[in-house]
A and B are shown apart, each in its own frame.
Chain A
Amino acid sequence: MSTSPTGNGRSSSFQHGMSKTQADHRVTENIFVTSNANVGNVSNSYNNIKVGPDEETLRIYEWLSPLEPHKRHQDVRNRRIDGVGEWVLQRSEFQSWCESRSGLGNPTLLCYGGQGVGKTYIR
């Protein structure tokens, strides 16, 4: 996506930038329409794939839980700043947890913190 939150050096071409984004959006929509049409043409063996979930599928989702955790992940991910906290991924505790196989080692990894790391001061 070309929507940089910093917008550095873009102020003079702001208007132009907007219309380009809108154009991109239209193109993206067209791609979706085309690919959906193709999906519709694929043989019956793929009849589980639909343009969107059908009504019953949606009812089943609702019945399972009102929570939609995957959406929350998108939201948090969009606000994340690249590089912050990446040292966690390098820790041996993380790597061995991540790579351990069924039945070997403790299956649980706890990462605790979040207090006194500066979020009161820095928003």
Chain B
Amino acid sequence: MLTNNKISSLVIGTLQKRARGQNVAVLSLYCDYQAQKDQSAVNLIGGLLRQVALRARGIPEEIKSAFDEAMKEGGKGLRLPDMVKLFVEAIDSVELVYLCVDAVDEVLPQCRPEFLRALRQIIRDTPNVRLFLTGRPYIRRELDNYLTKEANIIRAVANQEDITKYLSRKIDNDSHQDPDLMTEDLKNDIMRIMLEKASEM
């Protein structure tokens, strides 16, 4: 229900609206248990760079020349420090870059330090970057070590209003299949019990 990726999606959508027509980029990464093998630090930063390239009209010159260079040497992928450097160069002409990383905790633990260090370097090297992160509570200490010690923090807990909105949408979706089965009483019971359960957690 109120999962981190919904908050991320909401934040990203809001930032995209604000960015429209301005020299502002909104870049996003959704980390995901199911895609962990591809989520090395270098691929994650590469994923951001890919969005920079998509956003531009045509491939930016610095990316193109790095690619040509790599092809001459057999087509190998970039190493992390070079990828970070290229990213920093590629966003240099953008006034403001919102960088949104959803579910940092879903990156493999052995890849996380490298990834977090790369993000830290990006923030240090480019004052035009704003970083938004979501993660489960247990990741907080690890993040603090790299990035978030002085950061702004929001603790996300679903409130009653969220739960009510979510449930009534779900119930409506369900009940049109067989309207006779979903009586008002049943609907009210479901709402009441769910809200009770949620408040116990």
A interface residues with partner B (beta carbon < 8 Å): 5-8, 11, 48-49, 57, 59-61, 63-70, 72-73, 76-77, 80-89, 91, 93-94, 96-98, 100, 102-103, 106-119, 121-122
Q: How many residues of B contact A (CB 8 A)?
A: 90
A87 to B49, CA, bound (A): 31
Contact of B151 with A109 in the complex, beta carbons under 8 Å: yes
Contact of A88 with B53 in the complex, beta carbons under 8 Å: no
Question: Is the pair B157, A117 in contact by a Cβ cutoff of 8 Å?
Answer: yes
| Contact between B150 and A106, CB atoms less than 8 A apart | yes
Q: In terms of DSSP, what is the predominant structure of the interface of chain B? A: helix
A98-B50 in contact given A110-B143, A119-B3 (Cβ < 8 Å):
no
Could you pull out 15 A-B pairs where Cβ atoms are within 8 angstroms? A63-B70, A64-B63, A67-B44, A68-B50, A72-B30, A73-B30, A97-B152, A102-B127, A106-B151, A109-B151, A111-B133, A112-B134, A117-B3, A118-B194, A122-B194
How far apart are B5's CB and chain A's nearest CB, in angstroms?
A: 5
B172 an interface residue at 8 Å Cβ cutoff?
A: yes
Inside 8 A of B188's CB, which chain A residues have their CB?
none
CB-CB under 8 A from B75, the residues of chain A are 63
B59-88: CB near A (< 8 Å → 1, else 0) gives 100011001001000010100000000000
A-facing residues in B150-182 (Cβ within 8 Å): 150-159, 161-163, 165-167, 169-170, 172-173, 176
Q: Which residues of B contact A94 (CB under 8 A)?
A: 11, 152, 154
| Cα–Cα distance between A97 and B153 once the two chains are bound (Å) | 10
Q: Is B128 located at the chain interface by the 8 A CB criterion?
A: yes
Tell me the complex Cα distance, A110–B140, Å.
Answer: 9
Residue of B nearest to A97 (CB): B152
**B153→A64 contact, CB < 8 A:** no
CB proximity of B114 to chain A, nearest CB, Å:
15
- Measured CB to CB, the closest approach of chain A to B56, in angstroms, equals 9
For the complex with contacts A63-B75, A64-B53, 8 further pairs of A-B residues with Cβ separation under 8 Å are A49-B57, A63-B77, A69-B50, A76-B30, A84-B6, A110-B147, A118-B2, A118-B158
